[in-house]
Amino acid sequence: MLKIGITGQNGFVGTHLYNTLGLQPEVFKRIPFEKSFFDSEQTLDAFVSQCDVIVHLAALNRHNEPEVIYETNVGLVKSLISSLERTKSKAHVLISSSSQEERDNLYGKSKKEGRELFAAWAKKANAIFTGMIIPNVFGPFGHPYYNSVVATFSHQIANNETPKIDVDGDLKLIYVGELVAEILKAIQNKSNVEKLIVNHTSEAKVSELLTLLQNYKEQYQDKGEIPTIANTFELNLFNTFRCYMDINNYYPVKFVEHTDPRGSFVEIIRLGVGGQVSFSTTVPGITRGNHYHTRKIERFAVIKGKALIQLRKIGTDEVLDFYLDGDEPAYVDMPIWYTHNIKNIGDEVLYTNFWINEFYDPNDPDTYFENV
């Protein structure tokens, strides 16, 4: 079992890497890291001495004073190298550098120098080092105005703000889940490469990103429709957008119910994609679910009976409770990386429709069990 520590564990990429490692507890053991470890040589040494692999993600991306970015990032690298030397560690070290390395700015300079410092340490210590040059990263839970233009636009659009394009440049992008897969591949292959270029998986102009995100807002957030999703990039972008909605105040969404002497009719979902629709009955007191997905889009629609739907973002403690009643049919959609369940809290059988955007594949279920 590989013992892996992540500096910057609570950052954008670090959170996704940490959570993904948790999907394979039989393969990886996560060594917890906190930002304060850099303030104490003893604490940092204790962390380093436990690790077979260290993924160095801790860095400052933005600051009003570029010199602070440079000094911070190079300083973090030097602190970690000093700890590696004090503990005589031969851990496999990976660093996330940037495609900005060759640009004339202090952020790019700090990333390049940090990578070169680690490479020199690895040669001296006879250790494995992987210096990863990565393109622009986007995905759920990135910080707007900090991590990426996708995060900024998604936050603004979901909150009815007006995004502004400063430069309509062409962006080379990689989804955070794809980047995590590249990091894991480098770990498992023990890639000893001073400069490993991670290729982008998609490319789009800033205006094209904005158009797609505005379309998701209009179709999905405003109308409840699942938009047409043409490829994996658009699926990843759509799932990213969904995570910037204020779901605690958005759900449950009530259906439009049409009633006449024969009974009632409710339209459950309008689709630009296919998928699988299921129907279930649940007896009083029973809970279904307690699992999460990392890519699937899913809708729970309560048609009859009383239900409690609960969601909790992986790695956090806050539980969101949504109460639904078949007297006013409504739905809740499940964001990725949120474990969720549904419980019959009434006295009669609960009738629920489930929709998910892909057919169930037992060999690749994208379903991970964790109690809410």
Q: What is the CATH number of the domain that holds 284?
A: 2.60.120.10
Which CATH number covers residue 124?
3.40.50.720
Whether the per-residue pLDDT at 26 is higher than 90: the answer is yes
Flag whether 337 is in a domain: yes
Q: What is the pLDDT of residues 53-81, one digit of tens each?
A: 999 999 988 787 889 999 999 999 999 99
How many other CB atoms sit within 10 Å of the CB of residue 256?
9
What is the pTM for the complete model shown?
Answer: 0.92
Last residue of a domain, one of 115, 134, 153: 134
Domain contains 319: yes
Domain boundary among 106, 134, 162: 134
> Domain for residue 99, yes or no?
yes
Domain boundary residue, one of 107, 134, 161 = 134
Q: Is the confidence at residue 264, as pLDDT, over 90?
A: no
Residue 313: which domain range?
Answer: 249-369
Is the residue at 54 inside a domain? yes
How many distinct structural domains can be found in the chain? 2
Q: Does residue 188 form part of some domain?
A: no
Q: Is residue 178 part of a domain?
A: no
Tell me, letter by letter, the H, E, C secondary structure of 212-278.
HHHHHHHHHHCCCCECCCCCHHHHHHHHHHHCCCCHHHHCCEECCEEEECCEEEECCCCECCCCEEE
Which pLDDT belongs to residue 274? 87
Average pLDDT, the chain: 95
The pLDDT assigned to 153 comes to: 98
Task: Tell me, yes or no, whether 127 lies in a domain.
Answer: yes
